[in-house]
Structure 1
Amino acid sequence: MIVFRWLSILGALLLAVFTGGVFYFSLRESAVWNEAAGNVDERGMPAVFDGFVERWNRSVERELRRELAAGEQQRELLTVSRGEGDGCRLAERERSVERLRRRLEEGDHIRVLPLEKMPSGLEWHTGMEEPEIGDPRAVKGGQVRLWINTPFPGTLRAFGPGSENFFNYSAIDNVWIPLVGLHPETFRPIPGLADRWAVSADGRTVFYHLDPEAAYSDGRPVRAEDFLLNICLRTSDAARDPFWTALFRSTFDRITVYGDSVIALTVPSPRPLLPYMACVDFHPAHPGFYHDFNALFLERYQWKAAPNTGGYMVVPGKIRQGERITLARVKSWWAKDRKYYRYSCNADQVEHVFVNLENKAIEMFRRGDLDMMNIRKPEIWEGKLELPEVHRGYIDKYSLEAGYACPPYGLYLNCSDGMLRNTDIRKGLAHAVNMGMVIDSLFRGNMRRLGSYMEGYGDLTLPLKAPEYSKKKAMEYFARAGFREMGEDGILKNERGERLCLELTFADSSHVMTNVCSIIRQEALKCGVDLKLDPLTYSVCSRKVFEKRYQAALWAWPLDTPFPRLYETFASELAYDGRGNSVGNTNNIFAVADAELDAALDVEREAPDYPALKEALHRAQKRIHDLCIWIPGWREPYTHIACWRWIRWPESPTRFCSPRLYNPLESHLYWVDDKMKKETQDARRRGIPFEERHEVIRLKDRDDPLRPSSGE
């Protein structure tokens, strides 16, 4: 989910130097990598990269010609048929064919050119006019121990099967520095790995100039060719991750590298916030780390962590399987003095403590073995935090109003399944799911029912109403699908005697989801449908969902900012290959392939301005609603944080994070006040209380930089 795909490059398994408990790398260790990397060429690139650009260009050309032939054939069929709605589909097909022709005429998809070939007359931007991020009072040092109640990750790989886990999302995507970032308050581009950027006159190409000091955590400089290596690795057969092949081919019309310092990304059409949006999923890969990349990649790199460009690294020696993973601040981080990063990544170490038993986590927190808890359950926030340490002011509580995009919890339906291909079955199931009872009884009314798949994006969100729980409506739809006879067990049957039975898959990491699914099953039985519960560990559940071997799944994942990218979740090409076979390990876990939805997604992907983007997203949301491939679940109106009072936050609009992000800890703007820590621990021993603190932070309405002002 940026895209939201929770994949990016995570820390490295290198020789670590510990000074005062802080993990950092030296240039000497970079040399060790180069000496060990026997399977590299004279440029220091892995052998797998040899000839990649030529192979990739030939492959892309073949695919474009195949798509063009298929598109022209479909256009001719639409021209002849002239059926209802064919005029609109014909226009969409014409645009698609024209785009494919243009791409073929432009030549190679990837070009490697000398720096002298750079176009002249470009207008460069630095983004240095935006306000400071964080707080100058922030100090470096200390340790923060965070409670993590998601399952322990099954791998530290940044791509490949199993890499879509919550830890990789929070500890990788929110640590790596992109080419161009987005200011969390103004939502305008700021420098990242690139110190400046320029947009071509036609608005389709962004030129990124790499910061000369940009480096990986081991000190090796980042080069433009490293970004091509990343494409090579992620699209390799050894990675078994077809998502990336489809993404790179469809997102960019052309990728050009000029020397070692400039990258140009060309997209099909101008887009809002193009300098940021074009590079969201475009990262470098460390050549030395991947020196022996081959067919054994998945097994060989299962618990290795690649050097990254951010302020934190995984500490290999502090990984305790099933229990904790520690990130440590990179002392020699190249961006540590940069304007937008100098007040972030303040704690020396951030220890992620995986505890599935809530009572155990609360007790650890009360004892001071955890510094911070991000709390989602109402019964914990309202009940189990009624602790003396809270009442005496040793632990602070913050409630952040969640007026921003949150993960869309709900039932995700697999349209490639024989039974769920039928829209009436899906619509009947939507009316058989009593999500209102889940919210009222299990969540004590503290959650809110979702309507649209992408709520929390202002007027980009199309207001939609979730299907009501109704036995009458559910059975009417089931009857349309042929399930009319009620069996002795209360389950509907069709004329062939087949029972209306579906498997409901979910990650059984806590009793919450088990209880949610139990309520859903009991209420669905009243409507004549039997939902067989399929509780799995998160890693197994994730693998089953992404391989599209499930029927229905209780699921959610983070959405992207500053606006969603629905194409990457609902596009047909991410569901089926050219022969109509289901494609696994892509974000289209619905396996939905719908021409009308695709048309809206194509416009969304190429929308040149805010009004066009809004119109396309509204169309897509309406179609998702009509297809009923997702049964709306719930969202949390507040995000709650409890922390010992020595955890400090900036006194600024970005004190927690961008209001468009879900987890307030993702900003890494907090710090540890050692003086306050000693004061608190001493007061606690002596029984001296402080004032109890529970701060409710209500987010003010703000203008979206993408939205035209009232005067336009």
Structure 2
Amino acid sequence: MDRRQFTGGLLAGAASLPLGAGRAGAQGRGGTLNVIIQPEPPILVTALNQQQPTLTLGGKIYESLLKYAPDLKPMPGMARSWEISPDGLTYTFRLFPGITFHDGTPMTAQDVVFSCMTLLMETHPRARNTFRRVARAEAPDPLTVIFTLKEPFAPFLGSFDCTTAPIVPKHVYEGTDFRKNPMNDKAIGSGPFKLKEWVRGSHVHLVRHEGYYRKDEPHLDEIIYRVIPDAASRTLALENGTVQLAQWSDVEFYDVARLKARPNLAVTNAGYEYFAPLQWLEMNNRVAPLNDRRFRQAVMHALDREALAKRVYFGQARVATGPVASKTKFYDPNVRKYEYSLDKAKALLDEMGLKPGANGKRVEIKFLVPPYGESYQRSAEFYRQSFARVGIDLVLEATDMAGWASRIGNWDYQMTTNLLYQLGDPALGVSRTYVTSNIVKGILFSNTQGYSNPEVDRLFDEAASALDEKKRQELYTRVQQILVEDVPVAWTLEIEYPIIYDRSLKDVVTTAIGSHETFGAVTKS
């Protein structure tokens, strides 16, 4: 069955699908879970790609040392215990015995050291910002990992979820070109599910990892991630039970209220505590006129963000005030506010010398539309109409997921929409976007806009090393004040994404990363 046939079957209300889609497992053990994945990820290896669909699906394949409760307190992942030295410099993790990769090779402390200190340092924007602080990583025995930091780093223990520090097999990657390794298509991890089949444009089929180290997990036999490009078909698939789970922007925001009314479905906004997703307009600070702070401030004034939250996100969002989300530690609401004012936007553009021509246009800006669903397309249209009122001609450019990632990562753009995770602490999820050291070409979700301010670098560094909470708040307040003046990106909204699931499922949301979690504990009745 190809993608076109599958979508057609959904629209016709067909219940007969391949790969055990209609099978119901016994309570507590067995069964097939069908999940929407939209858009289709370009790769499944989370160490090499951190776009949301990759992390959602890859979280079942790859695991890390810790998990995080909804209050963000650490819980055992692959590490059964951990210790911190009194000086806050040495972290010792004890691994569970019997962990194996999907190819049958034992997973040891050496794989952890290699993943964190070699591979992720090259490929993962937020991991490299954490592990560059490590002076030494050791594996004194197969079940012990010791990290010794150069200086105290307060949120270090919050850096080990399966999306931030996925552990990959050293024997597969050592000495290779990580991004071109032929085994990337096999996606060999140590999580509760392993890759059986990927039919591009149709589905990704995961099956139970029989060698999984947690007793009686995973409960499910298999998970099938369905690629369903059409928004109406995705909603219908949830309503009729063809699929049992959707997350993030899989369902368009205008359909959420309708799905909440369905008796077979549960809807929750839990499971995003670790991420606190923050959306912004990303502007390439290297390119005129976006390299002028006044232009970026004008953009903030030209946007009616309250209207954006209501019309495009149907109340599933709140207006952002700056670089730190309101649900994240050290948030300070007392920063400069950019009210919606076309007059102020025009005055700033006039001050720059960007006078309107006979046709009313001051400047043309190319906008790369992220291929993540209708809400991003609708947002782009909203921005285009908003900026036209002040003489900015926004030209929308379409691309696919891989193309968008490549162009943003390689700085080949003027403006786009981006959304990043906060990860519970500004040192983990915020600083990576603004510090000079994270301007690294080819790595998505780093400081791709090219903003650089030595004072911001200093404040982020001091705040990350300070152990006193009051001192950290003072430093983060100051850095928020500076960034809101400089506007390296135009913060728009804090998005309240839903997780929508069939009531036959249990333990879908068990941690602060929700649908990104391993799903080893999920059961289907």
TM-score, normalised relative to structure 1 = 0.63
1:442-461 aligned within 5 A = 442-457=312-327, 460-461=330-331
> Which residue of the partner structure matches residue 157 of structure 1?
45
Q: 1:594 aligns with which of 453, 457, 469?
A: 453
Cα displacement (A) at 1:450 = 1.7
Cα displacement (A) at 1:597 = 1.1
Q: 1:353 aligns with which of 226, 229, 242?
A: 226
Native 8 Å contact 2:270 2:509 kept in 1:
no
Partner amino acid for 1:176?
A: Y
> Which residue of the partner structure matches residue 323 of structure 1?
202
Please say if 1:230 is aligned against 2:118: no
Partner amino acid for 2:215?
A: K
Cα displacement (A) at 1:422 = 0.9
Q: 1:513 aligns with which of 370, 373, 376?
A: 376
Query: How big is each residue's C-alpha offset from its partner over 1:592-638, in whole Å with a ceiling of 9 and x where there is no partner?
Result: 11112111210232121433333333333222212112212223446
Cα displacement (A) at 1:412 = 1.2
> Which residue of the partner structure matches residue 362 of structure 1?
235
Cα separation, partners in 2 of 1:569 and 1:666, compared to 1, 3 Å:
farther
- Distance in 2 between the 1:657 and 1:545 partners? 33
Cα displacement (A) at 1:223 = 2.3
- Distance in 1 between the 2:182 and 2:293 partners? 43
Cα displacement (A) at 1:243 = 4.6
Cα separation, partners in 2 of 1:333 and 1:357, compared to 1, 3 Å:
same
- Distance in 2 between the 1:437 and 1:623 partners? 26
Native 8 Å contact 2:434 2:447 kept in 1:
yes
- Distance in 1 between the 2:309 and 2:67 partners? 37
> Which residue of the partner structure matches residue 526 of structure 1?
389
Q: 1:314 aligns with which of 166, 175, 195?
A: 195
1:209-288 aligned within 5 A = 209-230=94-115, 234=119, 241=123, 243=125, 247=129, 250-272=132-154, 274-277=156-159, 281-282=164-165, 284-288=167-171
- Distance in 2 between the 1:156 and 1:588 partners? 23
What SS class does the counterpart of residue 555 from structure 1 fall into?
Answer: strand
Please say if 1:415 is aligned against 2:296: no
Partner amino acid for 1:556?
A: L
What SS class does the counterpart of residue 199 from structure 2 fall into?
Answer: coil
Query: How big is each residue's C-alpha offset from its partner over 1:662-701, in whole Å with a ceiling of 9 and x where there is no partner?
Result: 658776543111xxxxxxxxxxxxxxxxxxxxxxxxxxxx
Cα separation, partners in 2 of 1:224 and 1:245, compared to 1, 3 Å:
same
Cα separation, partners in 2 of 1:563 and 1:477, compared to 1, 3 Å:
closer
Q: 2:412 aligns with which of 542, 549, 557?
A: 549
Cα displacement (A) at 1:188 = 3.5
In structure 1, list runs of 5 or more residues that go unmatched.
1-19, 22-136, 493-499, 577-581, 650-654, 674-712
Cα displacement (A) at 1:505 = 1.3
1:562-711 aligned within 5 A = 565=428, 566-575=430-439, 585=444, 587-637=446-496, 639-643=498-502, 645-649=503-507, 656-658=509-511, 660-661=512-513, 663=515, 669-673=521-525
What SS class does the counterpart of residue 536 from structure 1 fall into?
Answer: coil
Cα separation, partners in 2 of 1:177 and 1:274, compared to 1, 3 Å:
same
Partner amino acid for 1:594?
A: N
Query: How big is each residue's C-alpha offset from its partner over 1:572-608, in whole Å with a ceiling of 9 and x where there is no partner?
Result: 01116xxxxx675561122111112111210232121
In structure 2, list runs of 5 or more residues that go unmatched.
1-18, 21-25
Q: 2:85 aligns with which of 164, 186, 200?
A: 200
Query: How big is each residue's C-alpha offset from its partner over 1:449-499, in whole Å with a ceiling of 9 and x where there is no partner?
Result: 22233324355211156522222111111122221x32011112xxxxxxx
Cα separation, partners in 2 of 1:451 and 1:247, compared to 1, 3 Å:
closer
Query: How big is each residue's C-alpha offset from its partner over 1:424-468, in whole Å with a ceiling of 9 and x where there is no partner?
Result: 111112212333332333334443222233324355211156522
> Which residue of the partner structure matches residue 82 of structure 1?
none
What SS class does the counterpart of residue 381 from structure 2 fall into?
Answer: helix
What SS class does the counterpart of residue 409 from structure 1 fall into?
Answer: strand
Partner amino acid for 1:146?
A: V
1:101-112 aligned within 5 A = none
Query: How big is each residue's C-alpha offset from its partner over 1:544-580, in whole Å with a ceiling of 9 and x where there is no partner?
Result: 111111111112133313666223222101116xxxx
- Distance in 1 between the 2:443 and 2:303 partners? 27
> Which residue of the partner structure matches residue 535 of structure 1?
398
Native 8 Å contact 2:93 2:144 kept in 1:
yes
Q: 2:176 aligns with which of 291, 294, 303?
A: 294
Native 8 Å contact 1:401 1:637 kept in 2:
no
Structure with bigger RCO (C-alpha 8 Å, 6+ apart): 2
Give the structure with higher Rg (CA): 1
- Distance in 2 between the 1:156 and 1:278 partners? 19
> Which residue of the partner structure matches residue 298 of structure 2?
428
Cα separation, partners in 2 of 1:300 and 1:201, compared to 1, 3 Å:
same
Native 8 Å contact 1:365 1:372 kept in 2:
yes
> Which residue of the partner structure matches residue 257 of structure 2?
382
Cα displacement (A) at 1:143 = 0.7
Partner amino acid for 1:381?
A: V
Cα separation, partners in 2 of 1:274 and 1:382, compared to 1, 3 Å:
closer
Partner amino acid for 1:670?
A: V
What SS class does the counterpart of residue 406 from structure 2 fall into?
Answer: helix
Cα separation, partners in 2 of 1:550 and 1:670, compared to 1, 3 Å:
same
Native 8 Å contact 2:284 2:450 kept in 1:
yes
Cα displacement (A) at 1:284 = 4.2
- Distance in 1 between the 2:52 and 2:96 partners? 30
Partner amino acid for 1:529?
A: I
> Which residue of the partner structure matches residue 58 of structure 2?
172
1:118-157 aligned within 5 A = 139-148=28-37, 150-157=38-45
Cα displacement (A) at 1:330 = 1.4
**RMSD between aligned residues:** 3.3
Partner amino acid for 1:179?
A: L
Native 8 Å contact 1:364 1:370 kept in 2:
yes
Cα separation, partners in 2 of 1:279 and 1:186, compared to 1, 3 Å:
closer
Partner amino acid for 1:409?
A: Q
Cα displacement (A) at 1:511 = 3.0
Determine what percentage of the aligned residue pairs are the same residue.
16
Cα displacement (A) at 1:300 = 2.5
Native 8 Å contact 2:27 2:523 kept in 1:
yes
Cα displacement (A) at 1:299 = 6.2
Cα separation, partners in 2 of 1:569 and 1:457, compared to 1, 3 Å:
same
- Distance in 2 between the 1:223 and 1:213 partners? 9
Cα separation, partners in 2 of 1:447 and 1:465, compared to 1, 3 Å:
farther
Query: How big is each residue's C-alpha offset from its partner over 1:123-165, in whole Å with a ceiling of 9 and x where there is no partner?
Result: xxxxxxxxxxxxxx971210111122x22122233444xx232
> Which residue of the partner structure matches residue 11 of structure 1?
none
What SS class does the counterpart of residue 253 from structure 1 fall into?
Answer: strand
How many residues in Structure 1 have an aligned counterpart in Structure 2? 497
TM-score, normalised relative to structure 2 = 0.84
